[in-house]
A and B are shown apart, each in its own frame.
Chain A
C-alpha cells in the first residue's frame, strides 16, 4: 500500500463548480499535512497547509481527520486558472515530504 493515496482522477468540471479531492495516508505518526499544486511541466507549489481544526483560504477549504488518516481539499466556485494537478503531501517527524500521485483537475469554460 502506498503511503499517500489520492483519488485517481482526472476531474473535469465546468467553471463555477465545487470539486472535492480526497486523500488517505498510512503512517499514523505523520505530523504535517499539505496540499501542493503543480501546473503542467512546472514545479510543485504549496497551496495550503492542513490543520486538524480545518482551515480555509478564500475558495479553498482543507480538512484533516487524524483518526481516519484522511485529508480533503474542497474548491468552491472553480476558475479556469484552478486547472492543475493537486498533490496531497504528508510529513512525518522528520523532514521528508511524501507525495501522493496527484489528481488532475481541468476546469472547462
Chain B
C-alpha cells in the first residue's frame, strides 16, 4: 500500500520567504508527527497530532513555525519569514494508533534557505 508522502521533495527559499510543506500520512493513521533533521544529526521532534488535534507543539523552534491538520489526514507545516538556520530536512511520520505504535516516515522535504 501507499506509504507516507511529502511534497515538495525539495524547496529552495530566499531568506524571509514563507514556505508550506505538505504531508499525506498513511490512510487511517491516527497519529502524525513532524521532525526536523539538520545535516549530520538525527531527527528532532517538532509537533504531534492525534487526528485533527495538535496535542504537542513543544518542539517547534519559534513562533515562525506553524502546523495544522484540519481534517485529521493531510498536514501542512508552514514556516514564516524563513531564516538560514531553518535549512534542514523536514520529515513527517504517521502511526496507526494514538501516540504509540511504529512510526512510518515519509521521504522528507529538503529545505534550503539562501
Interface residue SS majority, chain A: strand
Residue in A42, A43, A99, A102 whose CB lies within 8 Å of B44: A99
Taken together as a complex, chains A and B put the C-alpha atoms of A17 and B18 apart, in Å, by 48
User: Cβ of A96 and Cβ of B107 under 8 Å apart?
Assistant: no
Inter-chain CA distance A85–B48, complex, in Å, is 25
Contact of A95 among B41, B42, B44, B100 (CB under 8 A): B100
Q: Is B76 in the interface zone, CB < 8 Å from A?
A: no
CA distance A89 to B93 in the complex (A): 14
A45 contact set on B, CB distance < 8 A: 105
Q: Does A20 lie at the interface of the complex (its beta carbon under 8 Å from any beta carbon of B)?
A: no
- A97 to B103: give the CA distance in the assembly, Å: 9
- Pick from B43, B45, B59, B99 the residue with the most CB of A within 10 Å: B43
Q: Which residues of A contact B40 (CB under 8 A)?
A: 101
> CA–CA, A97 to B105, complex, Å?
12
B79 to chain A, nearest CB (A): 20
Across the interface, do A43 and B108 meet the contact criterion of CB distance under 8 Å? Answer: yes
CB neighbours of B43 from chain A (8 A): 44, 87, 97, 99
State which residues 22-76 of B face A: CB under 8 Å.
Answer: 31, 33, 35, 40-45, 48, 56, 59
Q: How far is the CA of A43 from the CA of B103 in the complex (A)?
A: 11
Given the complex, which residues of A lie within 8 Å of B103, measured CB to CB? 46, 97
Which residues of A sit under 8 angstroms from B104, Cβ to Cβ? Answer: 46
Apart from A87-B42, A97-B33, what 6 extra A-B contacts exist at CB < 8 Å? A43-B107, A44-B91, A45-B105, A91-B100, A94-B99, A102-B41
Interface residues of A (CB under 8 A from B): 4, 32, 42-46, 87, 89, 91, 94-102
